[in-house]
């Protein structure tokens, strides 16, 4: 064994223990950092070829790994925008330059522009509901945008969908042709009447008068008028004809609606309202309204937000209604522990981690999103202190090896004197 090789091995051991102490220092320093993943130093031998009768000491090399796939304990908070993932997956965030990253640090707050940013300044990304129900882009970040919640102005939503369920009396008298509500004359007759409130594009209330008229056995006419067109203190005749007029037929055996089960109402100053009538029946009882719903909202402002376990961000308006704004996706890779660790508690894909795949919470093995919670660091302080003491002693032992080699080298040099 050469003295130089012995000293080199001692230096190798000191460097390895110094690396381990460095990871311990990082772990202890970040023990209170939300979403931090513990770093661990792995040792492996470094062998130098030897000949018979002569041993050449090698050394030790180190590899640092992060326990990224190990979840920390969830700690619940009072902030709705604090987010944690219970299970697999990462939030997708971006820096101010638009570069996407992955993170488990979910301490998000609204900045001056209404964007959700975490403590390191990364913006939370999501899919918008502006163009309908979003779908995830499985193999990339296309379609994602910074989640922005900033609508201090009033917002109105026109009516587009509705539901009406009830019963029409089986024994009602038949109204003669030319005298039905759809004819819109001063002598128009009808069997039953109800009204629905709908909303226009500017949030104005529009009263719709809905008339049901029996025209034959098991046959009815439904006609919808704009209340604003009604004659003063009466109903008929309206200033203009019905917005929609349809014929309804009922099964003579079951009394259930057959054929047409929905009508489309062009709401004045608004959108087309699709009214579902599949819940109508014709039975031996009086006229009865069992359910009546029409969507749309008057001018309202956002009072708060709610975030569901599947990542949908809802705006809560002053009238108590909810509207989906964004959906938060979750990303994952085949080997999370091989992700590249970067400053700001974020991760980037590497050649060893595999490509990023994006989906939604509670699907394809991804966890659920907990609103009002944060994921603590997965560092165990007691374990880190134990590792620190062990590394300190090993460093001292390796320094003794180097010192012994140095003393012997000095002795060898002095033999000539």
Question: Which of 274, 298, 322 is the last residue in one of the domains?
Answer: 298
Q: Give the pLDDT score at 273.
A: 96
Domain residues for the domain of 263 are 156-298
- Examine the pLDDT at 144 and tell me if it is beyond 70: yes
> CA 265, CA 273: separation in Å to the nearest integer?
5
The answer to whether the beta carbons of residues 6 and 401 sit under 8 Å apart is yes
Q: Looking at the structure, tell me whether residues 202 and 170 fall in a common domain.
A: yes
Residue partners of 271: CB distance under 8 A and separation at least 6: 158, 159, 160, 201
Q: Looking at the structure, tell me whether residues 164 and 294 fall in a common domain.
A: yes
Q: Measure CA of the first residue to CA of the last residue in the chain; give whole Å.
A: 24
Q: Looking at the structure, tell me whether residues 142 and 53 fall in a common domain.
A: no
> CA 303, CA 269: separation in Å to the nearest integer?
27
Q: Give the pLDDT score at 11.
A: 85
Q: Which residue has the higher pLDDT, 155 or 328?
A: 328
Kindly state the percentage of the chain with pLDDT values over 90.
Answer: 69
Q: Looking at the structure, tell me whether residues 142 and 167 fall in a common domain.
A: no
> Which two three-digit tokens encode residue 98?
């638009």
Q: Looking at the structure, tell me whether residues 147 and 171 fall in a common domain.
A: no
Q: What is the pLDDT of residues 372-389, one digit of tens each?
A: 999 999 999 999 999 999
- Examine the pLDDT at 51 and tell me if it is beyond 90: no
Q: Looking at the structure, tell me whether residues 62 and 95 fall in a common domain.
A: no
DSSP label of 404: H
Residue partners of 411: CB distance under 8 A and separation at least 6: none
- Examine the pLDDT at 416 and tell me if it is beyond 70: no
- Examine the pLDDT at 154 and tell me if it is beyond 80: no
Q: Does residue 344 sit in helix, strand or coil?
A: coil
Mean pLDDT of the chain: 90
- Kindly state the average pLDDT of the residues 35-54: 82
> CA 264, CA 160: separation in Å to the nearest integer?
9
- CA distances 212 to 65, 198, 287, 305, Å, are 73, 19, 10, 41
Q: Give the pLDDT score at 1.
A: 53
The answer to whether the beta carbons of residues 225 and 237 sit under 8 Å apart is no
Q: Looking at the structure, tell me whether residues 163 and 291 fall in a common domain.
A: yes
Q: Looking at the structure, tell me whether residues 305 and 382 fall in a common domain.
A: no
Question: Which of 229, 263, 298 is the last residue in one of the domains?
Answer: 298
Cα–Cα nearest to 116, from 91, 133, 137: 91
Q: Looking at the structure, tell me whether residues 257 and 275 fall in a common domain.
A: yes
Q: What is the pLDDT of residues 281-310, one digit of tens each?
A: 999 999 999 999 999 888 887 788 899 999
> CA 168, CA 268: separation in Å to the nearest integer?
27
Q: Looking at the structure, tell me whether residues 267 and 384 fall in a common domain.
A: no
Going by pLDDT thresholds of 50, 70 and 90, the confidence category of residue 238 is very high
Question: Which of 260, 278, 298 is the last residue in one of the domains?
Answer: 298
- Examine the pLDDT at 60 and tell me if it is beyond 70: yes
- Kindly state the average pLDDT of the residues 221-233: 92
- Kindly state the average pLDDT of the residues 47-69: 81
Q: Give the pLDDT score at 153.
A: 64
The total number of structural domains that make up the chain: 3
Q: Looking at the structure, tell me whether residues 135 and 190 fall in a common domain.
A: no
Here the CATH number for the domain that contains residue 233 is 2.60.98.20
Q: Looking at the structure, tell me whether residues 28 and 101 fall in a common domain.
A: no
Beta-ladder partners of 330: 359
> CA 302, CA 115: separation in Å to the nearest integer?
15
- Examine the pLDDT at 118 and tell me if it is beyond 70: yes
């Amino acid at each position: 064994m050469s003295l130089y090789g012995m000293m080199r091995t001692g230096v190798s051991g000191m460097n390895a223990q110094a690396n381990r102490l460095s990871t311990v220092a990082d772990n202890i320093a970040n023990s209170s950092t939300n979403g931090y993943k513990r770093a661990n130093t792995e040792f492996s031998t470094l062998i130098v070829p030897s000949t018979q009768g002569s041993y050449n000491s090698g050394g030790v090399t180190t590899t640092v790994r992060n326990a990224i796939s190990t979840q920390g304990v969830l700690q619940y908070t009072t902030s709705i925008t604090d987010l944690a993932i219970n299970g697999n997956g990462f939030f997708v965030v971006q820096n101010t330059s638009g570069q996407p990253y992955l993170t488990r640090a979910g301490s998000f707050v609204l900045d001056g522009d209404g964007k959700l940013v975490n403590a390191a300044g990364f913006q939370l990304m999501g899919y918008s509901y502006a163009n309908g129900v979003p779908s995830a882009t499985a193999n990339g970040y296309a379609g994602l945008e910074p989640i922005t919640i900033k609508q201090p102005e009033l917002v109105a939503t026109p009516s587009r969908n509705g539901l009406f369920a009830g019963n029409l009396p089986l024994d009602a008298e038949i109204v003669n042709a030319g005298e039905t509500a759809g004819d819109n004359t001063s002598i128009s007759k009808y069997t039953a009447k109800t009204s629905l409130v709908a909303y226009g594009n500017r949030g104005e209330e529009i009263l719709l008068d809905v008339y049901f008229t029996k025209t034959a056995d098991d046959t009815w006419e439904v006609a919808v008028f704009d209340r604003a067109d009604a004659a003063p203190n009466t109903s008929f005749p309206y200033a203009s004809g019905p917005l929609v007029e349809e014929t309804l037929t009922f099964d003579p055996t079951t009394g259930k609606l057959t054929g047409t089960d929905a009508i489309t109402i062009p709401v004045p100053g608004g959108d087309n309202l699709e009214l579902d009538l599949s819940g109508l029946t014709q039975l031996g009882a009086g006229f009865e309204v069992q359910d009546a719903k029409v969507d749309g909202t008057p001018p309202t402002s956002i009072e708060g937000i709610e975030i569901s376990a599947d990542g949908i961000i809802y705006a809560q308006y002053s009238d108590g209604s909810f509207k989906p704004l964004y959906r938060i996706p979750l990303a994952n890779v085949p080997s999370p522990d091989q992700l590249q660790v970067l400053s700001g508690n974020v991760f980037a894909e590497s050649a060893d981690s595999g490509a990023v795949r994006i989906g939604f919470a509670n699907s394809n093995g991804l966890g659920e999103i907990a609103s009002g919670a944060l994921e603590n660091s997965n560092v165990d302080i007691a374990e880190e202190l134990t590792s620190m003491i062990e590394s300190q002693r090993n460093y001292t032992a390796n320094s003794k090896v180097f010192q012994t080699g140095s003393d012997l080298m000095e002795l060898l040099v002095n033999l000539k004197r």
